[in-house]
Amino acid sequence: MDSNGDGVGDLAGITSRLDYLQSLGVTAIWISPIYPSPMADFGYDVSDYTGIHPLFGTLEDFDRLVAEASRRNLRVILDYVPNHTSDQHPWFVESISSRENPRRDWYIWRDAKPDGGAPNNWLSHFGGSGWEWDEATNQYYYHAFLKEQPDLNWRNPEVVEAMMNVLRFWLDRGVDGFRVDVMLELIKDAELRDNPPDPRYRDGRGRPYRQLLPLHSADQLEVHEVVRKMRGVLDEYGERVLIGELYIEMDRLMMYYGEDGPECHMPFNFSLVLMRWDARRIAALVDQYEGALPAGAWPNWVLGNHDVPRIAARAGRAQVAVAAMLLLTLRGTPTMYCGDELGMEAVAVPDEAIQDPVGINLGPGFSRDPSRTPMQWDSGPVAGFSTGQPWLPLSADHENANVAMQSEDPDSPLSLYRRLIALRQSEPALMVGSYAGMPAEGDIIAYVREGGGKRFFIVLNLGADDVSFDLPQGSGLGSVVVSTDVDREGTDVFEALEVRGNEGLVIALS
Ligand code: NOJ
């Protein structure tokens, strides 16, 4: 929400919409980076870790947001971007100034190979080599993302200390936790060895970055020590949350809960974001994830974020409601992306209007802009998001798909989200109860959640055809508490159940 008409969302805008967030039922908000930044990667290129970009407001606006959120029992989680700074950060300005500068070693500098080439074959996520040549000091520096985002050297204890103080700065200001950007890559191989080719990579499919397996540039064992330090700082403050952005295979992901001491409370589980929307695969994956969790580890599920296509684009419009029910009835903390509760779709952004550097470097098909368009509040001009020209175009259907209209419609995605969140928050079975997958075939996913003396049976139809399905054995009667088709709520079901196409049901078992 933009409060000052410049077309960009800001802190005062968020504060003005806290009542909406409260009515939605969410209990915490994660805000992408709000710090001073040249915006080469929309805030993920930070030039001052302890300030606020004027586009987003001031520290006073931030304090007000935290105070107002706390009054409503909403937690505020910040995005912490430790892998890289902006090339405009004073630390890098010093580092690049000369080889002798005391901050030279705060970043990753290396000589060229004898033939003048880059020190190794590592690639940037955003296209091309991960190394940039600096003519003035005759060395390369490493950047896992844009060349405007040089990687910090986390093997340098001064960097570690400075970055721990950044956490303290915001914790002292009352934030409730952090989502840690690119946690996986903070530590690089000490010898900077070449990455091997990925045999699964096929030309022209996916980002060129995927040609190599990031064996030596990511997920090094020593990173766990860094994460333990971060957790240690959070623990100095009592109940705070550490969430890691970790795109990695499941067994490796589990290590970020911490094997030699606590690390993340929640290593983000991106399985639902990455996989094909297919019932058999999802059902198998949920069982795999549940089985892989270390003892005592708390699960979590992510359905969307600002980097991936929206759920309406990944699963199809007809599945938006089923996806919501899956996210909000699985065991573990759900993370939803702003606007997905309206079923917002991928918005077509004309090639010449692309903002995302990934779309610009790798081609429009890679652009993340379609998921980043303004939130649709009402049927007014600019969907109530701004009084000015928004930084990205609005979706074509904003006059119909918006908070004001969907609030009035009990059959809307927004109303379903509200009912599901309310149920989840009030029923221990869904909030903290056990999970048991049920045998199912074809497009059906079914499971039971149990706790607080209650049992809920969840059945989801990921296909368009009606299917009949039996309640779990021994439960003669059930009552539909929430359905994606609101007309079915409150009805009783007996042993055999007709599940409509694209329908999901939460059934209280007697
Ligand atoms: C992950 C963030 O979510 C993404 O938006 C960003 O471009 C990269 N990390 C680099 O910071």
230-278, pLDDT tens digit by residue?
Answer: 999 999 999 999 999 999 999 999 999 999 999 999 999 999 999 999 9
H or E segment and range at residue 325: helix 320-329
d(CA 488, CA 232) in angstroms, rounded, equals 49
Atom of ligand 1 nearest to the CA of 145: 10
d(CA 498, CA 182) in angstroms, rounded, equals 44
Ligand 1 centroid – CA 307 distance (Å): 7
H or E segment and range at residue 442: none
Q: What is the pLDDT of residue 166?
A: 99
Contact 369, 350 (CB under 8 A): no
Of 327, 325, 338, 258, the closest CA to residue 297 belongs to: 258
Give nearest CA residue, ligand 1 atom 2. Answer: 181
Q: What is the pTM of this model?
A: 0.97
Give nearest CA residue, ligand 1 atom 3. Answer: 307
Residue 182 in contact with ligand 1 by CB distance below 6 A: yes
- Residues serving a catalytic function are 181, 236
Ligand 1 centroid – CA 98 distance (Å): 29
Residue 44, judged by CB atoms within 10 A of its CB (0-12, 13-18, 19+), counts as buried
Residue 44 in contact with ligand 1 by CB distance below 6 A: yes
Superfamily of domain 434-509: Golgi alpha-mannosidase II (2.60.40.1180)
Give nearest CA residue, ligand 1 atom 6. Answer: 44
Contact 213, 201 (CB under 8 A): no
Residues of the chain with pLDDT under 50: none
Atom of ligand 1 nearest to the CA of 182: 9
Contacts 24+ apart (CB under 8 A), 96-102: 96/134, 96/136, 96/137, 96/141, 98/137, 99/137, 99/139
Nearest-10 crossing angle of helices 320-329, 413-426: 10
Q: What is the pLDDT of residue 495?
A: 85
Domain ranges of the chain: 434-509
Give nearest CA residue, ligand 1 atom 8. Answer: 44
Q: What is the pLDDT of residue 400?
A: 84
Position 470, amino acid? D
Q: How many CA atoms lie within 13 A of 186 on its CB side?
A: 25
Contact 340, 325 (CB under 8 A): no
